Amino acid sequence: MKRISFRDVGLIYTFDSRNDPVAHVAAGDTVVLDVEDAFSGKITAKALAEHAEDVPFGNPIVGPIFVEGADVGNTLSVFIKDIRPATGRGITYLSQFTANYLTSVPIFEFMKVELPAHPRICKIENELIYFSDKITIPYRPMIGTIGVTPLPEAESISSVLLPGRHGGNMDIPDISRQSTVFFPIFQKGALLYMGDAHAAQGDGEISGEAIEMPAEITVELNVIKEKINWPRIETDEELMSVATTSAARGLEDAIRTSFMDLSMWMERKYDINRFDALVLLSQVGKIRIGNLWTAVAKIEKKYLE
Amino acid sequence: MKRISFRDVGLIYTFDSRNDPVAHVAAGDTVVLDVEDAFSGKITAKALAEHAEDVPFGNPIVGPIFVEGADVGNTLSVFIKDIRPATGRGITYLSQFTANYLTSVPIFEFMKVELPAHPRICKIENELIYFSDKITIPYRPMIGTIGVTPLPEAESISSVLLPGRHGGNMDIPDISRQSTVFFPIFQKGALLYMGDAHAAQGDGEISGEAIEMPAEITVELNVIKEKINWPRIETDEELMSVATTSAARGLEDAIRTSFMDLSMWMERKYDINRFDALVLLSQVGKIRIGNLWTAVAKIEKKYLE
Amino acid sequence: MKRISFRDVGLIYTFDSRNDPVAHVAAGDTVVLDVEDAFSGKITAKALAEHAEDVPFGNPIVGPIFVEGADVGNTLSVFIKDIRPATGRGITYLSQFTANYLTSVPIFEFMKVELPAHPRICKIENELIYFSDKITIPYRPMIGTIGVTPLPEAESISSVLLPGRHGGNMDIPDISRQSTVFFPIFQKGALLYMGDAHAAQGDGEISGEAIEMPAEITVELNVIKEKINWPRIETDEELMSVATTSAARGLEDAIRTSFMDLSMWMERKYDINRFDALVLLSQVGKIRIGNLWTAVAKIEKKYLE
Amino acid sequence: MKRISFRDVGLIYTFDSRNDPVAHVAAGDTVVLDVEDAFSGKITAKALAEHAEDVPFGNPIVGPIFVEGADVGNTLSVFIKDIRPATGRGITYLSQFTANYLTSVPIFEFMKVELPAHPRICKIENELIYFSDKITIPYRPMIGTIGVTPLPEAESISSVLLPGRHGGNMDIPDISRQSTVFFPIFQKGALLYMGDAHAAQGDGEISGEAIEMPAEITVELNVIKEKINWPRIETDEELMSVATTSAARGLEDAIRTSFMDLSMWMERKYDINRFDALVLLSQVGKIRIGNLWTAVAKIEKKYLE
């Protein structure tokens, strides 16, 4: 079983086809990745805000992994076997990023006000996160940033800001243990990257920071000879289609896009046409908001089987 | 126990302070309302599309109910005891409204294409909805449209298009049996209206239509001498703050607004300040999308008690 | 020539079909309206902020005017002959409304900060506005709020917040002297209202307040036996289609909608199909933003004649 | 005077710091660039649609140009001396890109409809563009895509999709002859790129395509030892601040951001504070929409001098 550690291959901050693969794997292989936390491991003491300037950029990722037989137009499947905390703790706080996240206009700068940091370092043990003396949170680990290398005309995309058809910083809690994530393949070998593990994260990740942790992630990789347009997720119970906002698509349109994709997936996979599928989704569909630029449309498979 | 039927008081399509109250009730009273379905009961055969022109407008509501002792600046609480199907069936289909809902530009008109109707009349029995020969859906009844009369400067607001601080057409599945909904009071007596019952509805109500049914709704009304800014919902397990989109606020900002409101509610109700509350919500908060213009921020109470 | 003054008919804050007409006029008639300023005339001294609580609501309007022969499905044309300042001065300042306008999340409340008022009372004389000792602005009068009574299912719409197919608070600088505004007619008699005159206003009215003035407005009213979907504007030089944002349509989609409407208008009026019209607009079309929820697509008529 | 031609340096589709500079110039130098059209020169016949698959990606750019003395945190100024058509013609048509541009949901795919191409090849001569037999358009040349290399954490940004603080595909008609464009500098040498010349373009570039032409562009480059946050533009008459939409910022917020930036620029440059500046902009400010993800706030300098 192949093991890839950020300590060996370094921290990368973009999904980029020009980086040399850190590993070549065959379809069906299982890989273990050691990923650093979203702060590049630079925040190690309680006084988080003081160290904020040491953080180079957010969300270092490990990769790219070249998957043999993965051709342009295929689909990469990533089955997540496990996500384990590497140091037994996670970190969160309010940052300048939160200020920009609570409102997308520069009102903090215009009004000359600042958000207080409210930092926390949380112990993680026995499937529990110790948020404070009083509050304990279940350990619900997930991969915040995962994706393949985008179309060559956009040869590198930031691991922080721009989720899209390639995946990226989607922050979807369903990308968790025992789920399978599918990506459209834009470059030979798929060139998978991942990082930004969260011990837990709320919908919308409203402060911009989850319980950020270094982690050991175990995944099995496969190639499917079909074409998809957007990332999809499957668990034992659910089918999910992802769509993201972009320069010209707000969250309403991302939701609509994800439901249209899910309708077309249901049409292809089950004996139901896209319009009936849409009518059914209007009754039993669910929406998950990852971060504020990522929408997930869901349906439980029991309705279709 | 007071009973109010649309057969006696008629169908109304706006939240309007100038309509005479259909009932005066005391705080603590329980009221039963018979409400017509969202199609004003005009669609009775399988050939739904043929009858679409008979529908006057969407979402007829029953009201207003004048609650004694409800003053401007107070909060109205509505505890939903039960929602029962009145005819044992519900209806759904794709309509011109769906076309406008899938995209908010007139592309169907511009390209001269039409959406097929795909109608369904579904039997409702023993907590089950018969969607098709093959598909059965759990009965999860909810009130799609519920609210008080808005500020006098906007003396009537459509029961279809414009949810807001007064509530209205929010289409939130959590407004269901055994939940309590809170509304800010803008007019003496609160002047509550409701209608648009759904036997089941998915997040986002992506086709614009749920399983629409006439229903018998039982609620207990109370007045709280506190001020809130937006509707809120409480169940045994969860606290929820609602915020809606508007002419100048997209869904991203409605989500942000609902989380800020929830943070301030947590600050007021529990021993936690608004910034720590925000950090906690970033880990365990949930988002429910009602229809595409209604966001709900949630937290489980177990984290706070 | 009929004259209608707010002093006689009172201040109204909604477009509402249930108000008695203040006048019946024939097609072709000219009417003079005296309208109060957007602050209902309550702000009369330099210390504007102190008096803000005296303002009942924004944008009082005068109407409705019943136009003989105006039937549902027709178009009302309003030719604006003149807009004159009534008192020789106008007022502007920053308000709580500005705070909500600069960002559509409650960040000012959440962070407990306030915007300073920065009030100004400006003399208007000889086609000039005296903004400060140093700065003079050309007098470019316009009608901020003008429209017909909306569809009966939404029997009254606020004169402040919700422009739409009926017009309303659009704040378009092109609704000025010598322009003609067209409205779809939803109620017999059209039921025209107007108010909220501005001595000058920038695109976007970014503080939420223009140079607000009481004014004398002279208009000629006519009925056209055609159907339109959105307000339109025509001057000697330009054709313009209006579309507004709404609960589910952001400014991007309002712009797209206005351009599609303008393409279809060009197709109907000139020897050009809607697709070629769209291609031409991509080269010579202009966009005017009224307030942040009103988009106007324009073309100079010289390209078409 | 240095001359750089795409024929020598090749076509590039990303703003990328890892490409070798095509030229090093001193502050104050004038450079002439030959740029290819937005279709990479692949569309050469009337049957444009047939050749669409030959286009690799949109908007090839020429660069990067390394400017001596340009340090991180400085501002690059680009004075545009001239923009001349290289071949005497320009091309435009409707494409799949237009379909995605008219609506940001996949409704064309979902409904299985297609947009007709409506291609045009237009002669450009004597400051006129021959759009059709009947319609002539003034030659108003502009640079659609121009910018510096972004922050290293996002090492390359597509020349088509993602305008931002670095500039990029902004499609602003004011970036024209005799205007000066300012960019924040994120990388040593500034690393300027440009391409995507338009013979004319309407606001919003609503079909997604302007009159696209290969061009000869002459610019003078300078470095200013000040820091700015967003691109700005200055002409003899106007000051302009640019802000773009992004994954979490719709056009409303881009407009608000551009006006706040302009207010702060006015505060710094003239004897007026940011709040009075905002009040003044509410009276005389203008908005230019470039493409649907680029907003420009403007003021005429005569009001400030």
Beta strands in chain A (DSSP E): 2-5, 14-16, 23-25, 30-35, 61-67, 75-85, 89-92, 120-125, 128-130, 136-138, 142-147, 156-158, 167-169, 180-184, 192-198, 215-224, 232-234, 238-244, 286-289, 294-300
Side by side, the strands of the sheet bearing A238-244 are: A2-5, A30-35, A215-224, A75-85, A180-184, A232-234, A238-244, A294-300, A286-289
Q: Estimate the share of chain D in helix, then strand, then coil, as percent rounded to the nearest 5.
A: 20, 35, 45
Cα distance between residue D173 and residue C266, in whole Å: 23
D131 and D45 belong to one structural domain? yes
Tell me which chain B residue has its CA closest to the CA of residue C59: B153
For the segment D251-274, what is each residue's pLDDT rounded down to a tens digit? 999 999 999 999 999 999 998 999
For the segment B43-79, what is each residue's pLDDT rounded down to a tens digit? 765 555 555 556 666 899 999 999 999 999 999 999 9
pLDDT for res A265? 98
In a domain, B231, yes or no: no
Question: Which residues in C lie closer than 8 A to residue B230 (C-beta atoms)?
Answer: none
Side by side, the strands of the sheet bearing A23-25 are: A23-25, A61-67, A192-198, A142-147, A167-169
C257 and C212 belong to one structural domain? no
Look up residue D292 and give its amino acid. L
Contact D107 B110 (CB under 8 A): no
Nearest to C113 among A111, A248, A252 (CB): A111
B243 and B296 belong to one structural domain? yes
Chains in touch with C (3+ beta-carbon pairs under 8 Å) read: A, B, D
Nearest to A103 among C107, C248, C250 (CB): C107
Answer whether residue A129 shows pLDDT above 70: yes
Tell me which chain B residue has its CA closest to the CA of residue C153: B13
In a domain, B166, yes or no: yes
Query: The tokens of A239 are what?
Result: 């089918």
As beta bridge partners, residue D296 has D242, D288
CB atoms within 10 A of CB D107: 24
Between these two residues, C86 and B162, which has the higher pLDDT value? C86
| Interface mutation vs chain A, best among C102, C115, C118, most A CBs within 10 Å | C102
pLDDT for res C97? 81
pLDDT for res B198? 98
pLDDT for res A95? 82
- Least confident residue range of B162-176, C274-288, D84-98, D167-181: D84-98
Contact C282 D92 (CB under 8 A): yes
- Least confident residue range of A93-107, A161-175, A191-205: A93-107
Query: Phi then psi for B189, rounded to 5 degrees?
Result: 90, -5
Is D162 in the A-facing interface, judged by CB distances under 8 Å? yes
Contact D281 C256 (CB under 8 A): no
Q: What is the DSSP string of B16-59?
A: ETTSPPSEEE-TT-EEEEEE--TTTT---SS-HHHHGGG--SS-
Measure CA C213 to chain center. Answer: 14
- Least confident residue range of A85-89, B132-136, B234-238, D117-121: D117-121
Nearest to A113 among C102, C103, C111 (CB): C111
C266 and C131 belong to one structural domain? no
Cα distance between residue A269 and residue A303, in whole Å: 13
Q: How far A213 CA sits from the closest chain D CA (Å)?
A: 21
In a domain, D176, yes or no: yes
Domain boundary (A170, A200, A227) is at A227
Average pLDDT over every residue of A277-285: 98
Beta strands in D29-73 (DSSP E): 30-35, 61-67
pLDDT for res A63? 96
Supply the DSSP symbol for B155: -
Cα distance between residue B253 and residue B231, in whole Å: 16
Nearest to A102 among C107, C113, C248 (CB): C107
For the segment A146-175, what is each residue's pLDDT rounded down to a tens digit? 999 987 666 788 888 889 999 999 999 999
Cα distance between residue C39 and residue C59, in whole Å: 7
Look up residue C105 and give its amino acid. V
C298 and C187 belong to one structural domain? no
Q: Are C139 and C124 in contact (CB under 8 A)?
A: yes
C222 and C243 belong to one structural domain? no
Contact C250 A248 (CB under 8 A): no
As beta bridge partners, residue C128 has C125, C138
Q: Which of B106, B137, B140, B144 is nearest to B120 (CA)?
A: B137
Domain boundary (B192, B226, B260) is at B226
Tell me which chain B residue has its CA closest to the CA of residue A275: B118
Domain boundary (D201, D226, D251) is at D226
Query: The tokens of B287 are what?
Result: 């988002």
CATH number (domain holding residue B44): 2.60.120.580
Side by side, the strands of the sheet bearing C232-234 are: C2-5, C30-35, C215-224, C75-85, C180-184, C232-234, C238-244, C294-300, C286-289
Indicate the burial class of A236 (C-beta count within 10 angstroms; 0-12, 13-18, 19 or more).
exposed
Task: Give the residue numbers spanning the domain of D118.
Answer: 2-226
In a domain, D280, yes or no: yes
Q: What does the mean pLDDT of chain B come to?
A: 93
Strands A30-35 and B238-244, by their bridges, are: unpaired
Of how many residues is chain A composed? 305
Tell me the Cα Rg of chain B: 19
Cα angle: A262, vertex A268, A270; to 5 degrees:
90
Beta strands in B93-139 (DSSP E): 120-125, 128-130, 136-138
Domain count, chain C: 2
Answer whether residue A47 shows pLDDT above 60: no
Indicate the burial class of D296 (C-beta count within 10 angstroms; 0-12, 13-18, 19 or more).
buried
CB atoms within 10 A of CB C82: 13
In a domain, D283, yes or no: yes
For the segment D11-54, what is each residue's pLDDT rounded down to a tens digit? 999 998 888 999 999 999 999 999 999 988 887 655 555 555 56
Is C94 in the D-facing interface, judged by CB distances under 8 Å? yes
Contact B202 A129 (CB under 8 A): no
Contact A279 B208 (CB under 8 A): no
Q: Which of D204, D211, D282 is nearest to D245 (CA)?
A: D204
Of how many residues is chain C composed? 305
pLDDT exceeding 90 applies to what percent of chain A? 81
pLDDT for res B279? 97
C-alpha distances in Å from residue C225, one per residue of A215, C228, C243, C270, D80: 70, 10, 21, 18, 51
CATH number (domain holding residue A250): 3.10.28.20
pLDDT for res C57? 67
Cα angle: B141, vertex B147, B148; to 5 degrees:
155
Q: Which residues of chain C have pLDDT under 50?
A: none
Q: Are B185 and B192 in contact (CB under 8 A)?
A: no
In a domain, D62, yes or no: yes
C249 and C197 belong to one structural domain? no
B220 and B291 belong to one structural domain? no
Cα distance between residue A250 and residue A242, in whole Å: 14
Is A107 in the B-facing interface, judged by CB distances under 8 Å? no
Burial A190-222 (b: 16+ CB within 10 A, else e): bbbbbbbbbbbbbbbbbbbbbbbbbbbbbbbbb
The residues, any chain, with a CB within 8 Å of residue A278's CB and separated by 6 or more, are A259, A260, A263, B94, B98, B118, B206, B207
pLDDT for res C53? 58
pLDDT for res A87? 95
Query: The tokens of A288 are what?
Result: 């998950």
D111 and D243 belong to one structural domain? no
Average pLDDT over every residue of A61-65: 97
End-to-end, the C-alpha distance of chain C in Å comes to 35
Q: What does the mean pLDDT of chain D come to?
A: 93
As beta bridge partners, residue D245 has none
Contact B154 C157 (CB under 8 A): yes
C17 and C65 belong to one structural domain? yes
pLDDT for res D191? 97
Cα distance between residue B227 and residue D56, in whole Å: 59
Question: Which residues in C lie closer than 8 A to residue A107 (C-beta atoms)?
Answer: 102-103, 107
Q: What confidence category does residue A17 fall into, taking pLDDT thresholds of 50, 70 and 90? A: confident
Q: Residue D116: which region, alpha, beta or left (left: phi > 0; alpha: psi -120 to 50)? A: beta
Q: What confidence category does residue A215 fall into, taking pLDDT thresholds of 50, 70 and 90? A: very high
Cα distance between residue A136 and residue B302, in whole Å: 10
Is B247 in the D-facing interface, judged by CB distances under 8 Å? no
Q: Are C155 and B57 in contact (CB under 8 A)?
A: no
End-to-end, the C-alpha distance of chain A in Å comes to 35
Cα distance between residue C212 and residue C198, in whole Å: 5
D79 and D180 belong to one structural domain? yes
Q: Give the orientation angle of helix C274-284 with respect to helix C251-269, to 10 degrees.
A: 120
Nearest to C247 among B152, B159, B244 (CB): B244
Residues within 8 A of C (CB atoms), B 169-228 only: none
Indicate the burial class of D130 (C-beta count within 10 angstroms; 0-12, 13-18, 19 or more).
middle
Beta strands in B93-155 (DSSP E): 120-125, 128-130, 136-138, 142-147
Answer whether residue D249 shows pLDDT above 90: no
CB atoms within 10 A of CB A286: 18
Cα distance between residue C250 and residue C293, in whole Å: 8
Is B111 in the C-facing interface, judged by CB distances under 8 Å? no
pLDDT for res A49? 53
A133 and A212 belong to one structural domain? yes
Question: Which residues in B lie closer than 8 A to residue D102 (C-beta atoms)?
Answer: 105, 107, 110
Strands B75-85 and B61-67, by their bridges, are: unpaired
Q: What confidence category does residue B239 fall into, taking pLDDT thresholds of 50, 70 and 90? A: very high
Question: Which residues in B lie closer than 8 A to residue A293 (C-beta atoms)?
Answer: 252
Q: Which of A301, A290, A142, A300 is nearest to A230 (CA)?
A: A290
ipTM: 0.96
In a domain, C179, yes or no: yes
